[in-house]
Amino acid sequence: MLRFDHVTYTYPGAEQPSLRGVDLQIREGEICLVAGLTGQGKSTLLAAACGLVPHFFGGEISGRVSVAGLDTRSHGPGEIGAHVGALFQDPESQLVMSSVRAEIELPLRSRGANPLSVARAVEEVALALGIEHLLSRRTAELSGGEKQKVALAAALAGRPRLVLLDEPTSQLDPVAGDELIGLLSRLNDEWETTILIAEHRLERCLKAADRAIAVEGGRVAWDGDPASLLEWAATHCVSLETPGARLLRLLDLKPPPRSVRAARNTLRAAGMLPAATPENRQLRSHARAGGALKRWRVPLPLRAQSSGEPMLAFRNVWHELKGGAAILRGVTLRFEAGETVALMGRNGAGKSTLLRHAAGLMKPTRGRIEAAGPVSLLLQNPTDYFLRDTVAAEASEQALSAASLLHLKDRHPRDLSGGERERLALAIVSPPARRQSVLALDEPTRGMDRASKAALAVECRSRAREGQTVIVATHDPEFAAACAERVILLADGEVIADGQSSELLAGGWYFATETARILGGLSGALLPEQGAEAVRRAGAGEIAA
């Protein structure tokens, strides 16, 4: 289905190739997971697989890429698109129609499909992705996660033989992410669709993959069984480890697990998994009984409020649309100086809308918002902040150095990897020399590997220690646990839980880190290092099982 024959590719103006001597064959019907750190060539590999490299991006290429028997040198993206569906890191850039239905219909109509098959395909893919309620909506009104689903629907509607997905779960809530992987497995089973998926959160995809490829420095560094990828990562690139694999390695246990269940079985076999507390059993039972994410409710106490003046306060804030629907419903919150706060909730819960209100981009229809000073906001699409032709022209040398981007100063901002673009946008909106009292980040980890996420978490905590209030909207429980001391859970525009991250992210089902799910919320451990310590302490009898 897809073949790379000694392919080397260099972007225009780049000093080094992004792909180096890639030899690769993807068989029809394979689900192949592409892993690698930010900026190592994963996105370029996928762009070459659909003809965008070199036809759209330009640059210099040697070697040969063939897709469904078509040589990309002599067949452009339009011809190759008849066989390939693709979703890239910036779904906003793929949406060209004003309505959701028209967007999904577009690739089918452009190939001359008859009206009956178009209507059926749109309905089927909308139901499969759970977006049937969005079909009459305008694309400009959608949240980032909803746009990602719509772009994916357009890519899948024509039943392509090859599907290329670049960070497809990065803006999806935990339920939607799991459902997407299930849908891809079903497409593969029923249609024998070949799937190439680049993803940083390997724990979401490993179980579904037939094969895994690790890309490093533009080369294929490892190619084999997904079960063995984590063993390779433990010795060659620990940033690719899943939280479960890292937890077991810290406890000197093997093999690295591909799932939560496998990790528990290994811990039980070693006599290291304590029995769940009654409280944890109750939480898990409650989550299972809840079924769909919108019915998941675990009551948590609201956070105690300081007696001083907050940096940012929402007082009974509503945002209602003309048709009567409400995006925010009576939100009352306060954010203190030096806090790090994670906003979580399903797609469309109101997280982005809340941040836009905080920054003054939207006005409440009822209630009021009080801020001690300006709010810096980094929205979901970092490329919206790029106005110049080089990285050096976008931000100061000091800001680029702080963002670890100084070595890329001569590159075009839009040629950076997803994680690099996010760091550059942050350097633009909140440089070291001009930091506002509140920094709001909307899905800032899109396209970031674990090392980059860890560095961003350190940056958030560092800013908080300097007195800045940091608010992050995220679907990533691991990142929320690493950066935030407090978590606010939204649903249907309402605050349904507000508490310490060690409380809210431990013991749940969807809103829980992988370490917490493996250990059943033991001692509030959220990250692998905390989990390993909690297991050791439990074994030594220092804490109750």
265 in any annotated domain: no
List the single range of 360-364, 397-401, 535-539 with lowest mean pLDDT.
535-539
Written in H, E and C, the secondary structure of 131-147 is: CHHHCCCEHHHCCHHHH
| pLDDT at res. 307 | 56
* Residue ranges making up the domain that contains 235: 2-239
Whether the pLDDT of residue 291 is over 50: the answer is no
Residue 484: band (very low, low, confident or very high) from pLDDT cuts 50, 70, 90: very high
Output the pLDDT for position 325.
Answer: 85
Q: Are residues 146 and 19 in the same domain?
A: yes
Report pTM.
0.85
In the predicted structure, residue 13 carries a pLDDT above the cut 50:
yes
| Within-domain flag for 542 | no
The Cα–Cα gap between 468 and 149 comes to 34
Same domain flag for 222 and 312: no
- Same domain, residue pair 391 and 511: yes
pLDDT band at 20 (very low <50, low <70, confident <90, very high): very high
pLDDT of amino acid 515 = 95
Tell me the pLDDT tens digit for each residue of 497-531.
Answer: 999 999 899 877 889 999 999 998 788 899 999 99
- Residue 275: pLDDT band (50, 70, 90) is low
- On whether residue 276 sits in a domain, the answer given is no
Q: What is the pLDDT at residue 176?
A: 82
Q: Are residues 188 and 311 in the same domain?
A: no
pLDDT category at 293 given cuts 50, 70, 90 is very low
- Helix, strand or coil for residue 404? coil
Does 59 share its domain with 208? yes
Judgement on whether residues 220 and 300 belong to the same structural domain of the protein = no
Please report, for the domain that includes residue 485, its CATH number. Answer: 3.40.50.300
Domain count, the chain: 2
* Beta-carbon contacts of residue 522 (< 8 Å; ≥ 6 apart): 274, 280, 531, 534, 535, 538
Residues 220 and 304 in one domain: no
Residues 10 and 75 in one domain: yes
Q: Are 524 and 408 in a shared domain?
A: yes
Share above pLDDT 70 across residues of the chain, in percent, rounded to a whole number: 92
Phi, psi (5° rounding) for residue 461? -65, -35
Query: Does the pLDDT at position 304 exceed 70?
Result: no
Task: Identify whether the C-beta of residue 151 lies closer than 8 Å to the C-beta of residue 100.
Answer: no
In a domain, 208, yes or no: yes
Task: Give the per-residue pLDDT at 295.
Answer: 30
234 and 305 inside one domain = no
pLDDT at 288: 36
Whether the per-residue pLDDT at 253 is higher than 90: the answer is yes
Question: What is the distance of C-alpha 214 from the center of its chain?
Answer: 19
pLDDT tens readout for residues 167-222: 888 888 888 888 888 888 988 998 899 999 999 999 989 989 999 999 999 999 99
pLDDT tens digit string along 61-73? 999 999 999 999 9
* pLDDT tops 50 at residue 322: yes
Whether residue 251 lies inside any domain: the answer is no
Q: Is residue 260 part of a domain?
A: no
Residues 410 and 499 reside in one and the same domain: yes
